[in-house]
Amino acid sequence: MSTVESDYLRRWIGEPITEALTEAALKRPNDPIEYIALWLLKYKENEERLRAEKANAETVATEKKRLEEEAQKRAELEEEQRRIAEENAAKQCVETCLRRAEIELALAEQNNEKPDETVVDKVGEEKNEKSNENITNTENNANDEKPENVEETT
């Protein structure tokens, strides 16, 4: 027998045949050839089952990871939707309050009554805030457009 053949046999059947022969020697069955043949068949079935279980475990782990990532993305989207809904509700509440105050002010002026000071203050504050935002945005845009070497004069 050549070295190549003995290396092949050692690599592929060395361990299982050694185990089968050891067990046959210990148990001393009536038909040792049949016992070794059946033992080797069972060994092969066990090896295939272990390979399949390993592949299945890898598939399960990959699928679990994918599902966890999807759940994380879903949670992030739900959080973003909740935040947007809260912002929209707050904006709508402010707009409703402002409209209500403007209507009360208009009704008071129409009836030639002195409007409730809190209503006038609310409307005035809202208009001032919007005006200040526009001024600030305009100044910011103007500052962005100035060259660096120009100094401001005050």
> DSSP letters along 122-146, please?
HHHHHHHHHHHHHHHHHHHHHHHHS
User: Can you tell me the distance from the alpha carbon of 120 to that of 66, in angstroms, rounded to the nearest whole number?
Assistant: 57
Q: Are residues 43 and 15 in contact, defined by beta-carbon separation less than 8 angstroms?
A: no
* pLDDT, tens only, 87-130: 999 999 999 999 999 998 888 888 876 555 555 565 566 656 65
pTM: 0.45
Instruction: List Cβ neighbours of 32 (8 Å cut-off, separation of 6 or more).
Output: 24
Structure tokens at 142: 């103007």
* pLDDT, tens only, 36-84: 999 999 999 999 999 999 999 999 999 999 999 999 999 999 999 999 9
